[in-house]
Structure 1
Amino acid sequence: MIRLGGMKAFGFLSFGHYGGDPSRGGLSARQMLHDALDIAVGADELGVNNASFRVHHFVPQSAAPFPLLAAAAARTQRIEVGTGVIDMRYENPLYLAEEAAALDLLADGRVALGVSRGSPEPADRGWEAFGYTGSTDPRGADIARAKFELFLKAISGEPMARAAEQPYGAPVRPGQGLRVEPHSEDLVRRIWWGAGSRETAESTGRQGLNLMSSTLLTEATGASFGDLQAEQIERYRAAFREAGHTHTPRVSVSRSVFPIVTQQDKMLFGVRGGQDGDQIGIIDGHRSTFGRTYAGEPDELIEQLQADAAVQAADTLMLTIPSQAGVDLNLHILESFAQYVAPALGWKPNTEGPVQGDPVS
């Protein structure tokens, strides 16, 4: 079984919003990207474990993540760089495999690449504008799954093409199977699937991937968001064990957490503390549960997060940050959490690089 030892890692998840009137604080895309780099660098210096970015299309948010992730990896020493999540409907799986492997090699294994079917987008079947047609599902889930399976084969080093009868430019035999290059040997162990349901979590476990439990669940049973996620995590781990995988899995959950340690914090975040419960809404045609926002003094946050079943079950907690609020405020949020809250949950500053999951026995 999985032995839990408290929260081993925490990171941040940036939604990368930009736009609005610059005279009123609106960010340009350029400023958003530079801010993202500066937040990642500052988080690395604080000992934070992970810097991840959402990926959306046809909207003023982060997209095309690999330039940003490569720049972040080049400017940091220990922090993981990743996504939450890449929308497979919009991807060429073999080109994605090449990019992911190159990033993993440049970052010396500091990659935590989250992928999934993708969330609802503003464009009507926007993936078709990227040239990916043929889906019979209005949500595009069929092509996302097919692409992801091909992506996994590619990063695992399986042959994706055959050498020509008269191969040019490489010492290969005619008809020889060719894998995509570059190849990163252990990259498959650093792939996370973003799961929004129990069934998807179980599928993730059977495939031996890491689990990135979504910021929302496409379920609403009356149970709290944390309890729903904890059940999802347990089902994932059971499926992982039953499939016979022997490596060490990892699990992350996301929360909005705002420690109040200064008067400015109280002015900015104090109102958020009134959001005492989860939210229920309709997304993608499903009645869904959205997690609550945590805001309060450190002792209060510690007590609340210790009572959150999913936070206790996961090894990694991702803080969703208000990236459009600027570098200084976001680093203040991360520093306050690192100094006053995270140690009580089992975290220690990152001094060595990517965290290892709990041992399997």
Structure 2
Amino acid sequence: MRAFGFLSFGHYGSAVGAPGVDARQMLHDAVDISVGADELGVNGAYFRVHHFARQSASPMPLLAAAAARTERIELGTGVIDMRYENPLYLAEEAAALDLLADGRVALGVSRGSPEPADRGWEAFGYHGSTDPRGADLAREKFELFLRAVRGEPMARAAENGYMSSAAPGAGLRIEPHSPDLADHIWWGAGSRESAENVGRTGLNLMSSTLLTEATGESFGDLQAEQIDRFRAAYREAGHTGRPRVSVSRSVFPIVDEQDRMLFGMRPGEGADQIGIIDGMRSTFGRTFTGEPDQLIEQLRADAAVQSADTLMLTIPSQAGVDLNLHILESFAQHVAPALGWKPNTEGPVEGDPV
């Protein structure tokens, strides 16, 4: 494990009978956690994107604010739901963000997970999907987005040449253009088949927090097979880059009595869970809670954690800045070094040769 970061769902609002942070506080906390994590040498700050929910939604303002106050930490999403996006406008925003952040962006995108709204992307003005999950729409948009990010012409210069030195009819790419942004694009994959598609496309792999498969194997073993298939497909497609691979886990080191009170293991938390999502039996990863030595042993035995280069720790963002930085610091001091990690002093890591 060469890198670890945090993955925040950005929850806000109140549960019944209990106070909670509002959207403003959630966003400010997210920036402050990113700043504190950067100072600890944590490698990445990644944020979920959901619509019509009291969670993080539009990521670009948040990531830009975090970029302005940090120096080395990678800033990204896990993941942007392409069903809801204008692909060319997203390409403009992503390029501007990558330039502002000096190349520290790790933009995770995908079809997205189930959302609260029924075909909510249609409320955003995007119609035409024949798939009840919108997968066809997401894939079509992503292909256009990737072409734009890579600098392909997206329009033709006008005859009058207004505000352009391009010859009439010449191809115009999206501006601004970030030359290395295409290397920072990740696809969030929830199955072995989708991971193979990522490899063939030549992107980085962001393995999902759940897998839409349930074979009886452990979540870590299923995910490790997914990673192997991704890397094999990447090689077979003739790509020669160094793709990154990330997995996410809920990990709570117990280093003091407060930790024991807050994170002491509850029934069922120490095992993978099987459930139904999008009508498919799916495997959800377990929660890791325990003394540092226990966590080191468990994570060393997790085949996917050992195979990936980046581990994302899902954090209880609504619990506030101090507690979340305590969780990250405990992991950084007492667990991560035994897994091969060193504090970040230079910026994003490189991927593995395949």
Asked whether the two chains share a fold, i.e. TM above 0.5, the reply is: yes
Aligned residue in 2 for 1:146 = 140
Task: From the superposition, tell whether residues 109 and 243 of structure 1 become closer, same or farther in structure 2 (CA, over 3 Å).
Answer: same
Partner SS for 1:271: coil
**Is the 1:41–1:76 Cα contact (8 Å) retained in structure 2?**
yes
Letter in 2 for 1:210: N
Question: Residues 131-142 of structure 1 correspond to what in structure 2 (within 5 A)?
Answer: 131-142=125-136
**How far has the Cα of 1:22 moved from its partner?**
11
Please report the TM-score for the alignment, with normalisation by the length of structure 2. 0.98
Aligned residue in 2 for 1:86 = 80
**How far has the Cα of 1:166 moved from its partner?**
1.2
Q: Is it true that 1:227 corresponds to 2:213 in the alignment?
A: no
Q: Is it true that 1:196 corresponds to 2:190 in the alignment?
A: yes
Aligned residue in 1 for 2:71 = 77
Determine the C-alpha separation between the residues in 2 that align with 1:21 and 1:305: 32
Q: Is it true that 1:68 corresponds to 2:62 in the alignment?
A: yes
Aligned-residue sequence identity (percent) comes to 82
Aligned residue in 2 for 1:304 = 298
Aligned residue in 2 for 1:165 = 159
Aligned residue in 2 for 1:35 = 29
5+ residue gaps, structure 1, are 1-6
User: Deviations 1:187-246 (Å, cap 9, x if unpaired)?
Assistant: 000000000000000000001100000000000000000000000000000000111111
Pick from 237, 247, 251 the counterpart of residue 257 of structure 1: 251
Determine the C-alpha separation between the residues in 2 that align with 1:318 and 1:311: 10
**How far has the Cα of 1:167 moved from its partner?**
1.7
Partner SS for 2:335: helix
Pick from 293, 297, 308 the counterpart of residue 314 of structure 1: 308
User: Deviations 1:41-93 (Å, cap 9, x if unpaired)?
Assistant: 00000000000000000000001100000000110000000000000000000
Letter in 2 for 1:101: A
Task: From the superposition, tell whether residues 255 and 272 of structure 1 become closer, same or farther in structure 2 (CA, over 3 Å).
Answer: farther
Letter in 1 for 2:5: G
Letter in 2 for 1:46: L
Aligned residue in 2 for 1:44 = 38
Determine the C-alpha separation between the residues in 2 that align with 1:121 and 1:23: 25
Determine the C-alpha separation between the residues in 2 that align with 1:273 and 1:284: 26
Determine the C-alpha separation between the residues in 1 that align with 2:262 and 2:80: 31
Determine the C-alpha separation between the residues in 2 that align with 1:78 and 1:196: 29
User: Deviations 1:231-282 (Å, cap 9, x if unpaired)?
Assistant: 0000000000111111101000000000000000000101248622100000
Aligned residue in 2 for 1:127 = 121
Determine the C-alpha separation between the residues in 2 that align with 1:308 and 1:354: 23
Aligned residue in 2 for 1:210 = 204
Partner SS for 2:31: helix
Which aligned segments of 4 or more residues in structure 1 are displaced greater than 6 angstroms?
Answer: none
**Is the 1:272–1:294 Cα contact (8 Å) retained in structure 2?**
no
Determine the C-alpha separation between the residues in 1 that align with 2:175 and 2:7: 29
Partner SS for 2:99: helix
Q: How many aligned positions are there?
A: 354
Determine the C-alpha separation between the residues in 2 that align with 1:348 and 1:22: 42
Partner SS for 2:265: helix
**How far has the Cα of 1:172 moved from its partner?**
1.0
Task: From the superposition, tell whether residues 266 and 229 of structure 1 become closer, same or farther in structure 2 (CA, over 3 Å).
Answer: same
**How far has the Cα of 1:179 moved from its partner?**
0.3
Determine the C-alpha separation between the residues in 1 that align with 2:296 and 2:266: 16
Letter in 2 for 1:139: R
Q: Is it true that 1:102 corresponds to 2:90 in the alignment?
A: no
**How far has the Cα of 1:359 moved from its partner?**
3.1
Task: From the superposition, tell whether residues 148 and 316 of structure 1 become closer, same or farther in structure 2 (CA, over 3 Å).
Answer: same
- Alpha carbon RMSD of aligned pairs, Å? 1.2
User: Deviations 1:106-132 (Å, cap 9, x if unpaired)?
Assistant: 000000000000000010100000000
Aligned residue in 1 for 2:175 = 181
Moved more, 309-318 or 351-360: 351-360
Letter in 2 for 1:58: F
Determine the C-alpha separation between the residues in 2 that align with 1:192 and 1:275: 29
**How far has the Cα of 1:23 moved from its partner?**
9.0
5+ residue gaps, structure 2, are none
Task: From the superposition, tell whether residues 73 and 212 of structure 1 become closer, same or farther in structure 2 (CA, over 3 Å).
Answer: same
Moved more, 18-27 or 113-122: 18-27
Moved more, 325-334 or 15-24: 15-24
Letter in 1 for 2:185: I
Q: Is it true that 1:19 corresponds to 2:16 in the alignment?
A: no
Pick from 103, 107, 112 the counterpart of residue 113 of structure 1: 107
**Is the 1:197–1:217 Cα contact (8 Å) retained in structure 2?**
yes
Determine the C-alpha separation between the residues in 2 that align with 1:251 and 1:31: 31
Determine the C-alpha separation between the residues in 2 that align with 1:356 and 1:147: 28
Pick from 281, 284, 299 the counterpart of residue 290 of structure 1: 284
Determine the C-alpha separation between the residues in 2 that align with 1:56 and 1:32: 14
